[in-house]
Amino acid sequence: MSLETITGNLRDAYKQLQPGTMLHVDELMNERRTNADLRNQWFYTADGEVYFLGTAGNPTLAMTREAHNPVLLNIDDAFEQLTKNHNYRPSQADVQQAIAAPDTVLIALSNLRLSKYYSKNHSEFSYLTIGTSPTRYSKLNEEERKLVKRVYGQGNDFVQNMEMLKRAEISETRILVLNPDYVRRYASEGAFARVSGLSSFNYDSRFNTFDRDFNNLSRIRGVPKKTDREQSSTAGADAQTAGSPFREQGAILGPSVDEVLTYSASYVPEGVREQYKAGLQKLYKK
């Protein structure tokens, strides 16, 4: 199974992928080290972005993997809500599963040293700046480091990805999040979710956790679903391997060797039954 890039809006493109194969931001960053073509492309990512009020009402971001991303789990409903209301309100069960999942990272937004946009068009979100040199990213605080490494990779992957950006003359990159005040206001009615995206190197490879536009002509990366023909071929091969009573011959299903032998036993003379059986088995192997 090989990875492919699918271009389109998130809802339609995601439905073309095998579930569980869409790449997350850290996986895309890792692949960009060996696949330079990906550096010039924008991607929706599989990361779930759930905003809620945590302990003592603190604005919190829960970053999930694909399996617990409430937007991808309910792609049609999420599309309707995000395009009409700007926020997607997952079920309480989906929120609880997303927050409790062991691979979900919880980020206390108030502990991030965020810079605000002063443009009216960008008033609902802020950004964390990450310098790509060791002397700069070593100064991140604990909460910032947790977020940055969830986005740009853990351990040696993080170091190599920062070096890749630095070599591309990107001295700093950004992670964009919703303002804590915005989260306090809208999460008071319950948790809500947004879409995530990774930009090209032309835009400093920045990552945003607040997208609500499904209709951007962007990309996702993963393993495409098999075509009807491929699924049919695989099903036929699996059936023969598993000893199924049916096997596929083009578009026609027929009885197995054992069924034919059982049915024809009374019609085939005993003296030629072994020869008949051998011929039949040879025929089925074709």
Q: What is the pLDDT of residues 30-43, one digit of tens each?
A: 999 999 999 999 99
Residue 237 and residue 187 in one domain:
no
Q: CB within 8 A of 222, min separation 6: which ones?
A: 3, 4, 6, 17, 18, 21, 22, 23, 46
Residue 21 and residue 35 in one domain:
yes
Residue 135 and residue 173 in one domain:
yes
Residue labelled with tokens 């995530």? 196
What are the beta bridge partners of residue 248?
253
Residues 178-188 pLDDT 10s: 999 999 999 99
Residue 217 and residue 252 in one domain:
no
Residue 100 and residue 216 in one domain:
yes
Q: What per-residue confidence (pLDDT) applies to 157?
A: 98
Residue 253 has pLDDT above 50, yes or no: no
- Of the pLDDT bands very low, low, confident and very high (cuts 50, 70, 90), residue 234 is very low
Residue 119 and residue 239 in one domain:
no
Which pTM does this prediction carry? 0.79
Residue 173 and residue 245 in one domain:
no
Rounded to the nearest 5 degrees, what angle is found at the Cα of 185, between the Cα atoms of 216 and 61?
60
Q: How many domains does the chain have?
A: 2
Residue 200 and residue 86 in one domain:
yes
- Please, what is the average pLDDT of the chain? 86
Q: How far apart are CA 62 and CA 96, in angstroms?
A: 11
Last residue of a domain, one of 222, 242, 269: 222
CB 201 within 8 A of CB 36: no
Strand 172-178 versus strand 125-131 pairing type: antiparallel
- Of the pLDDT bands very low, low, confident and very high (cuts 50, 70, 90), residue 275 is low
Q: What per-residue confidence (pLDDT) applies to 117?
A: 82
Residue 62 and residue 191 in one domain:
yes
Q: How far apart are CA 68 and CA 15, in angstroms?
A: 16
CA distance to 106, 168, 177, per residue, from 92 (Å): 17, 43, 22
Residue 234 and residue 208 in one domain:
no
Residue 144 has pLDDT above 80, yes or no: yes
Residue 45 and residue 146 in one domain:
yes
Last residue of a domain, one of 198, 222, 246: 222
In terms of residue numbers, what domain contains 26?
4-222
